[in-house]
Chain A
Amino acid sequence: MDVLRFYGDNSREALGLLSQHVVLVLASTLVAVAIGVPLGILLARRPRWRRPVLGFANVCQTIPSLALFGFLIPLPFIGGVGARTAIVALVVYALLPIVRNTYTGIVGVDPAVREAGRGMGMTDRELLVMVELPLAAGVILSGIRVATVIGVGVATIAAAVGAGGLGVYIFRGVAVVNDTLILAGALPAALLALGADGLLGLVERRFVWR
């Protein structure tokens, strides 16, 4: 209950960090979708690229965050300290589930359905937009859902490069072994992850037909 008292005393700061956190997750997930979905479609069209690209995304997933920040700080445009660097790192971590699920979803479309589309005289583009993407939407959305939920947790490391977010409370708490502070960061992050999961679950159910 120390946590509630803490929020009472620091409500403005806590809300500020919470909104920073949400912005970090939203921005990075949107960028990851903008890169990951087209990349996944491309892989479905060019199967030979599948192994190197997914392999690269896999490797990115394993880079420790502090090491990644270390690489990013000296880089122009995407580096430095602050929100931009954190978002770049979060995009790197969010790519894998989105690319993989997009690829899997599109490859998993029944070839008979694709043939039927072609038989109706659809172009590649029409086939993609009218047949493949709608049928793959469930798998793609669940990839985005996984990426978002992971992103809420991973975004706590943004505090290591001065980008703020709920990780600030966790880092401060760890530095002085103050469990109230650690919980003040960890609890809302967990709730945020649950909320994001539930919300995207609704979206999934709404837009997917089988």
Chain B
Amino acid sequence: MALAGWTDRRIVGSLLLATLAGGCARSDRIVIGAKNFTESDLLAEIIAQQIERRTSVPVERKLHLGGTFVCHQAITAGQIDGYAEYTGTAFTAVLKQEPGPGADSVRRLVSNEYAGRWQLVWLEPFGFNNTFAITVRQADAERYGLKRISDLAAIAPRWKAGFGYEFLERADGFAGLARVYGLQFSAPPLAMDLGLTYRALADGNVDVIAGNSTDGQIEALRLVVLEDDRHYFPPYEAAPVVRAAALERHPDVRRALSELAGTIDDAEMRRLNARADVRREDIRAIARDWLARNLP
């Protein structure tokens, strides 16, 4: 699909966000945004609370804004000052690079491009990699001996896939995956809401979905993630992305956020997500609890 007309979209997108966010980011405060899923909200809440407890800068939260592109529009338009982004997502979906290189070079390239093009700073990553998780039911994985995505090719013609719209549209999404692994499903994948795909998989309406590897539902719903044995997906290391102007204005914010570097690994993130998604705990309480315990 054509992704042209970037400038028009930026103008319309900013207008949309201006009404959505209700005014501009004021200089005396830091506005933290998040994408529209639990992990992004959680990381934003951790970032926000860390700023609040280490500095005197007031923090405003604009959580659950929309997908990657909405957050990107918001931060480049100055509607938000920071949010948690993933290196691989920035690399493929925002910068439109072909998937391929390893973790370090992806991070370096993304960081340079963001600084040059939009005056946005990538801080040190949190320490986990939230990759797309090609997920099947555990019972099916055992019956058909599925461990890797390449095992899927043989059974795909008899199977039905269900994916979220972002995965279907992205450069590092379904089209490339199908090409690299030679996947041919019985019908074109069902396009549906990402959150509903887990339910549809668990209830047998579809047989394979693309979730996120740190999602809490994977263990709760007895699902299995297949290994990306051909390394199709780039690394998706989460890190705070903050406007350079905001960091210059508040140097103590950078110091506060640097404490978060390398503090959350994959298992820890999955646990935090499960507390929110499976045990329905309040995101603020989870963040407060985690910060008090890990960064006293």
Contacts and interface: CB of A to CB of B under 8 A. Distances in A.
Interface in A56-78: 66, 69-70, 73-74
A176 to B, nearest CB: 5
Interface in A176-198: 176-181
A80 B1 CA distance: 29
Contact of B196 (A69, A176, A178, A180): A69
Contacts of A69: 193, 196
Contacts of A6: 2
Nearest to A5: B2
Interface string B156-200: 000000101110111000000000000000000011110110011
Nearest to B170: A176
B70 interface: yes
Contacts of B72: 177
A48 B70 CA distance: 50
B165 A74 contact: no
A151 to B, nearest CB: 20
A66 B193 contact: yes
**Chain A interface residue number, banded:** 20 to 34
A200 interface: no
Interface centre among A79, A80, A159, A160 (most CB of B within 10 A): A160
Interface stretch (A32-40, A95-103, A166-174): A166-174
Contacts, number: 90
A74 B193 contact: no
Contacts of B191: 159, 162, 168, 171-172
Interface stretch (B4-12, B82-90, B259-267): B4-12
Contacts of A79: 203
B48 interface: no
Contact of A172 (B5, B12, B13, B169): B169
B3 to A, nearest CB: 7
Contacts of B205: 73, 80-81
B166 A176 contact: yes
A180 B1 CA distance: 11
A26 B168 CA distance: 29
Nearest to A69: B196
A175 interface: yes
Nearest to B12: A179
A175 to B, nearest CB: 4
B102 interface: no
Given A73-B205, A179-B12, A160 B196 contact: yes
B200 A176 contact: no
Contacts of A161: 192-193, 196, 200
Contact of A176 (B67, B190, B193): B67
B9 A177 contact: yes
A117 interface: no
A81 B162 contact: yes
A177 B169 CA distance: 11
B66 interface: yes
Nearest to B73: A177
A120 to B, nearest CB: 57
Contact of B165 (A70, A81, A172, A180): A172
Contact of A177 (B69, B162, B203): B69
B80 interface: no
A134 interface: no
B192 A179 contact: no
Contacts of A2: 5, 8
A147 B1 CA distance: 34
B164 A175 contact: yes
Given A69-B196, A81-B162, A161-B192, A74 B13 contact: no
A82 interface: yes
Contacts of B106: none
Contacts of B9: 177-179
User: Considering the complex of A and B, which 3 residue pairs feature the smallest CB-CB distances, nearest first?
Assistant: A162-B190, A177-B69, A160-B193
Given A82-B190, A160-B192, A178-B1, 19 more contacts: A6-B2, A73-B199, A74-B203, A81-B196, A159-B191, A161-B200, A162-B162, A168-B191, A171-B191, A172-B1, A172-B165, A172-B191, A176-B3, A176-B67, A176-B169, A177-B9, A177-B13, A179-B5, A181-B1
Interface of B: 1-3, 5, 8-9, 12-13, 66-67, 69-70, 72-73, 93, 162, 164-166, 168-170, 190-193, 195-196, 199-200, 203, 205-206
Interface of A: 2, 6, 66, 69-70, 73-74, 79-82, 159-162, 168, 171-172, 174-181
6 contacts: A2-B5, A160-B192, A172-B1, A175-B69, A176-B170, A177-B69
